[in-house]
Amino acid sequence: MSGPRGALGPARPGWLWGAAALLALGALLGAWRWAGPRRRRRLQRVGTVLRLFVYPVKSCRGVSVRRAQVTPMGLRSGEMRDRFWLVVREDGHMVTARQEPRLVLISAHCESGNLILEAGDMERISVPVKLPKKNPVINCRVFGQDIQGRDCGDEVAQWITTFLNSEPCRLVHFEPSMVPRKSKDTIALFRNTDEVAYPDCSPVLIISEASMDDLNTRLEKKAKIQNFRPNIFVTDCSAFEEDTWEDILIGDVEMKGTVCCGRCILTTVNPDTGVIDRKEPLETLKSYRLCDPSEKHIYKTSPLFGKYFAVDKTGTIQVGDPVYKMVWE
């Protein structure tokens, strides 16, 4: 019998305890190496916010704002949310300025709990942002994907149809309880967490003033930024520099660059007249802004102008804010 020590088992040689201690220390060092030292973030200023735009109704005129919240699903200013309203045919298929170019002549903004629409000689019309629950929910199709929208009523449907002089249209509103579309279902390079209501595929589109200036040196008739419908218009950088931005910080908002924006015939709609040209500025862009052949599976024959960003950290941005590239070291 060996007294109390026997109750705990036989004594271990000193060298064994030392080896165990070394192993434990090694494990701790390994874990520290695995975790980091934490990478440092360096901010490199690459531009300045020149203008901010929210487009309440898809394809209708944008609203220039001084300040906006950036949510996971795009810009918000008060009750205006970016492309949270959509014009559809009676069968639910989306209607954009590709099919009805005069949509770009409809102004939309929010005031006192209402969406206000104005166009030409039409009398302005208002629709409650919070629609009655008795209004039906419509199953809509946006770029071949299913999404819902609550119908805004017969009066505004007739107003839009009359102004467009088109087959019957309806206006629908995306509500927070509805299921958004996954950006990656349109372009596979987005993450599973990136979601939108009625935008083409991305919560945020950024274009630089220098890119616009570069394009306009090549055009006989100058294009406007309204041809390209960005959310954030940036100055103080070189032409197409925005294509290279990956992780950026504006205000307290962090965004991740995903893909460039492949341009379509909508860019040829004159934002002042609502007439579709079908040629410029698209043809000029095609002469010098096609993708690298290795990326044709993404962009096909669409020229690139502007870059899409997903939202990593929400917050507020305003005109005059510096744009920083986040460099990890």
Q: What is the mean pLDDT of residues 75-92?
A: 98
Q: How far apart are CA 139 and CA 146, in angstroms?
A: 7
**Contact by Cβ (8 Å): 52, 231:** yes
Q: How far apart are CA 131 and CA 154, in angstroms?
A: 13
pLDDT at 15: 47
Q: Tokens 């007439």 — which residue? A: 275
Q: How far apart are CA 138 and CA 89, in angstroms?
A: 11
For 277, other C-beta atoms within 10 Å of its C-beta total 16
Average pLDDT value over all residues in the chain: 91
Question: If we measure between CA atoms, which residue out of 125, 90, 91 comes closest to residue 111?
Answer: 125
Sequence-separated (6 or more) residues with CB below 8 Å from residue 219:
280, 281, 284
pLDDT at 29: 46
Q: What is each CA distance from 275 to 13, 63, 98, 104, in whole angstroms?
A: 91, 20, 11, 9
Q: What is the mean pLDDT of residues 87-109?
A: 98
Per residue in 42-70, pLDDT (tens digit) is 999 999 999 999 999 999 999 999 999 99
- Backbone phi and psi for residue 298, each to the nearest 5 degrees, phi listed first: -90, -50
- Neighbour-count burial of 309, counting CB atoms closer than 10 A to its CB (0-12 exposed, 13-18 middle, 19+ buried): buried
pTM for the model stands at 0.88
Whether pLDDT at 37 is above 90: no
Whether pLDDT at 22 is above 70: no
- Domains annotated for the chain, with CATH where assigned, are 42-328 (2.40.33.20)
Residue 12's SS3 state is: coil
Q: Tokens 């205000």 — which residue? A: 251
Q: How far apart are CA 300 and CA 193, in angstroms?
A: 25
Q: Which residues of 116-141 are buried (b: 16+ CB within 10 A; e: fewer)?
A: ebebeeeeebebebebeeeeebbebe
Whether pLDDT at 165 is above 70: yes
Per-position DSSP letters for 43-75, written without gaps between them: EEEEEEEEEEEE-SBTTSBPEEESEEEEETTEE
Radius of gyration of the chain (CA): 27
Per-residue pLDDT band for 328 (boundaries 50, 70, 90) equals confident
Q: What angle do CA 192, 96, 299 make, to 5 degrees?
A: 50
Sequence-separated (6 or more) residues with CB below 8 Å from residue 95:
59, 87, 88, 89, 103, 166, 169
Per residue in 287-306, pLDDT (tens digit) is 999 999 999 999 999 999 99
Per-residue pLDDT band for 3 (boundaries 50, 70, 90) equals very low
Distance of CA 4 to the CA centre of its chain: 71
Per-residue pLDDT band for 39 (boundaries 50, 70, 90) equals confident
Whether pLDDT at 32 is above 70: no
pLDDT at 31: 47
Q: What is the mean pLDDT of residues 112-137?
A: 98
Per-residue pLDDT band for 2 (boundaries 50, 70, 90) equals very low
**Which residue would you say has higher pLDDT here, 203 or 37?**
203
Q: What is the mean pLDDT of residues 4-10?
A: 40
Residue type, 134: K
What whole-number percentage of the chain has pLDDT above 90?
Answer: 87
Whether pLDDT at 193 is above 60: yes
The H or E element containing residue 26 is helix 14-35
Whether pLDDT at 245 is above 90: yes
Q: Enumerate the H helices of 165-274 as residue ranges.
A: 209-216
Per-residue pLDDT band for 320 (boundaries 50, 70, 90) equals very high
pLDDT at 33: 47
Q: How far apart are CA 85 and CA 178, in angstroms?
A: 13
pLDDT at 18: 52
HSE, CB side, 13 Å, CA atoms: give it for residue 193: 8
